[in-house]
Every structure is written in structure tokens, then in C-alpha cells.
Structure 1
Amino acid sequence: MANSPTIHSTLSVVSGQLCFGSLHNIWFGSSAITQGLPVAPPHPSGTVQAHSINYNIAAQNGIWNVYKLVISETSDAVAWFVTHADIDPRQEVDQILRISGSPYEPDHGSTMNSDITSQAGVFVVNRYDWGYYDERCLDEIGEGQEEGDDDALANSNSLGLVDRSVAQEMVQQWQGQRPSKRDSTEHGVWLYIPYGEYMFGRFGFNDTHTAARSFLFFSGGTEFTRTSFLGILGTLREYMTPKERFGRQLLEGVDFSGMGMVRDMISCREVSPPPPPELLGPYDPSDYILREQDIEALRSYSEEQASQPDAEPTIHGFIDPWKQPLFDLVNEGRD
């Protein structure tokens, strides 16, 4: 058919479940509980946020088509898209990218699993959610053969998508092959992005949100404004200058107040109080460290005033009726 994406290969799903990820992820997923929507939000740990992933997802049975996504100027694979044969691949990938695209591109939507992604039927997998970042079964299975000096990161920029019924069999077969040479079979495909860095995945679910029907795999270097389906013209996302994007956002009524960012930051923090045995205070006023005059002295001090004696105070005074409660708060928060 003219102007249709070129089908690279096919995948047959018969168990209603797909295992995915690096070799040891797939091995773990082969005996893990199947996941679906809604997906639990990420667990913050320092600067890293990671989801709890079982590498086993409910999936629609039937034939899935595998599409190679290429940079528009060449035929080099920069991403892969796998979708059930009954689904229009262009509409499906467009819907996924509108909800959750690459975190390195503007207008990327939600890059973590949330109520928004679950309601839209998208399951998000990020760089810290799989590969060697998750060590379950890593010692037992390993990463498999290395690609060599040509692509030292090959085991970190490629992954498998395989029917659960043959997951362990496929892992054992792939262990003896380099990432670029791992053979696809009727029930399993290996997706390789040469010279990619960081793995990202997005599963699209059916209308009832009971099973996945598509999977988008890309790397941190994938630019969707330069990426196309092999066999058709047109990139997956339209390139816009910053000025064009800002104008469009104004017309769409995008909120630039920053409150959305504040809410996201609050949602990622633990706000519940510690258990009673760990609580400190309240303190008796006789135990307060700072007196009223101490707080006033600290309030009015600044480095600018130290070098410019005539400078005006940059912090206004505390006013009644909040003056004493604020002094108490400063002392109670000393720990």
C-alpha cells in the first residue's frame, strides 16, 4: 500500500502477556506477577526516580507488527514501534507521544506514571526502571555477549519483547549472541538502537485499559522531530521554534504560573509525619534557643547591609497577630 509504514517483522502473542527489557529483566518477568494499569507512581530516591516494574505486562493476543523508526536523513534506526496488527501505527504513536514523549524534548507530556498517563492508557518505563539499574536476576543471567568496541553500550541500548510462554527459552538463546545479532522468532523480537544511550519505553493500552496493544522504544538521543516510520514521509512530531511554540501555548491557554511544577514537586515528597516515638517537641518556651530580639537581629541582617550600612532592610517585620506564633515556629523548627 502506498504511503504505508514498512513492516520490519512480526511478533505473535499467544499467552496474553509480554515480558520485556534486558535479558535478566525478561528472566525475572517470566515468573513475576503481570502488571497493568493503573501503574504505581515512581519512588524518589535522592536525585533518581524509579518505578517498580515487573517486566511482565498484560498484552493483546494476536499478531503485532514491528516498525523501524529512522532518522529522516538516513535509514539508521533511532527507535522502534511494535503494535497490534489491528491498530493504525501512525495514530497510535502520535497518541502516545502526546501523553508521554521523550523527556529531552519540549512538550513531552508526563514523563512519569501518574493519574494522567493511566487515564490515557499509557504505561511509562524510564531509563532507571530497567537494564542494569535493576539487579534482580542480573547475577544469575548476566547481560549476555558484548557488542564490542564498535558499540560498547549495546546491552544498554537494546531490549527484548517476548511472549511469556517462551521468555526463558528466548533469554537462553539470546545469551550467546551479540545484541546486534540476536535473532527474532515467531514469539520474540530483539530491538537494537545502535549507539543509543538510555532506554525509554511507552506501552499503549486498549480502550478498556485491560491489555497493552503497542510499545514504543527509544533512547535519550531520539529526536522525534527528525524521526519517521521507514517507508513514509513526515516526522513523528512537528518541529517548532521556541517563538512558535510559545504562541501556540498561549492560544491553548497553557498555565505559565508555575503552580503545576509546585504541585509535581509536592507530590514527589513524603508529607506524612514520622511515627509518634520519633516526634520532637513541642518545646516549653523556657527551652527556646532564640529570643525575640535574636530573631529580629537575624531578620534584619544581610550581606548587603554588612557592606552598605545605609541599605534598607530586605525583610519586613513580623506583624501582630502573627508575630508570636512566628517566633514560636522558628524555635520549634530548630531540629
Structure 2
Amino acid sequence: MTVATAGEFGLISRVTARLGAESPYVLLGPGDDAALVAAPDGRVVASTDVLVEGRHFRRDWSSARDVGHRAAAANLADIAAMGARPTALLVALCAPANLQISWAEELADGLAAEAGKTGAVVVGGDTSASPTLTISVTALGDLGGESPVLRSGAQPGDVVAVAGRIGHAAAGYTILSRGFRSPKLLVEAFRRPEVPYHLGPVAARLGATAMIDVSDGLLADLGHIAAASGVGIDVRRDAFTVPEPMRDAATALGVDPYGWILTGGDDHALAATFPSDTRLSSDWLVVGSVVASSLFTAGDGVTVDGRRYAGGAPGWDHFR
């Protein structure tokens, strides 16, 4: 059965039937003109992201459930990076009329499963016919009385730390683009990110001065913190250990694995700056430091071992 066969409201009925989780934040879920979500803090953290077939995913590389996990993770990670707890997702699906309805149902399963990792629930959305399969997700979150962790608070003397996998998804993308399907660890990392959502609020309580999720590449995303904070950031290449599967894949493909680690996105790791005396758990890897911006020339907001990165673009840019 295709979505055209089921019709718009048949599609909506089938999808919402698979989103049955409950949450104390959700006062009214799908089925009315709008959902009703509690905001105990009195403030709502909101983020939105779009996945377009052929640009962000391919159906011959990833299952519908995989795409659902990725679409949810991209937004939930943004909420965590503000130091907030995700509460709800809104999802819009634009699909060709010949899309199998089972694909949409499995997409919903992936969205619900990923949201469930954080306690969030899919509370509504929209559907439309489109020649290009597109998924748009909006995430909402609650700060729990804490101040949001912005990009603009990094101070000279802070340490830079990363939590979560990094470089794995970029390696998986390269492997898939070369026509291979292994190592499985790396390919699965591209298909389904493993995001340390809980560490966002933890970082806020520890006094993180700035934070961001690594969606476009570590150097590129740290560049956003550097620009917003008016500081420089220096990353130490030797802070990273290249996992054996990544090292073997890089050797086989003839690439530098540090390119994946430093400039690859889609893992949605959390990168944060902390005062130097902060006691960080083993969940965090210290990878660099924040320095005064006067130490850098224009365009050198983020360096590697004190020098401008010479390995190409620092990360992903949709329009480059």
C-alpha cells in the first residue's frame, strides 16, 4: 500500500497509532488542531531540523527506522546542547505519492524509539505530497530551572571537552559512499547516532560556559563557539585515539582518520567548554583549550596544535 492509496488521513492514523508513549510533559497529544505540552520551567527550548532524501539520507543505505532515529537525534541533540531535557517532537513528512506506507510507519517507529531514549514523545506534525522525500522535525525541551548553556560564554583559560562518539558517522558515510557495508560499527554509526543526551543537563550543572552538538564537524562547530564568544580555540590532535576499526578503514580507503574526527559530523557528540578547575567524569574527553582571540589572525578562530587546519574544510556546509 502506498501513501496515496491510504490517503492523507489514513496515513496520519497509521503513523500516530505507532507513537503511543506517554510523558508527564504531554497534556494533549496527536489528534486535535495542536498538541498541549507542559513547560514547568516557564521557558521552552526549541529547535528544528530538516532531512532531505539524497542530501541527508539514501533509502538504499538506511532503513526507514534508521532515518527516524537520525531525524530525531539531530533535534534532540540540539536541546541537550542547551543543557535542557527534551520533552516533545513535532514531525512533518513530505512524501511522493508512491511511497510505501510501511516505510512511513517504520519511520514513525524510529522517531518514537529515539525520542523515548530521552523521555520525549512525538506529539503531532503534518503531511504533504512532495516529489522529494523530506522529514522536518521540531524538538521542544525544558531547562528544569537551570540557565541555558549558550555558545557565547566560553572564556580564555577554559578547557574544551567532548562527550560521545566522534568521527564514526563520517567514517561510515565514506565507507557507504565507496560502495562498502563494513566495518559494521562505523556504518551503523552513520545510520543511527548514539547521542549522550543526559550529559547536556549534567554539563549545565557542572558549570559549562558554552556548548554545542557536533553535527557539521568538530572544528566547524567549535568555530561557532569561538565566534559567538569572541575567543580562540586550540584543539590537540593527540587528544584523540583512533579506534581500530576506524584506523583499518582509513588504511583500506587511503584517507586520514583524523579528517573524520576533526571535520566529520552527524555523530551529534556534545562539545563544551568548562572552567579549568572543573572535575569532569570519564564521559568527557578534554581535547583543547580556549585562548584569547587576540592570539589569532582573522579566520583562525579554531586551530589544531596551534596552527590553521590544513586538511580542507573544517566541516559541512550545505551551500558550499
Which of these two proteins has the greater Rg computed from alpha carbons?
1
TM-score norm. by structure 1 comes to: 0.21
TM-score norm. by structure 2 comes to: 0.21
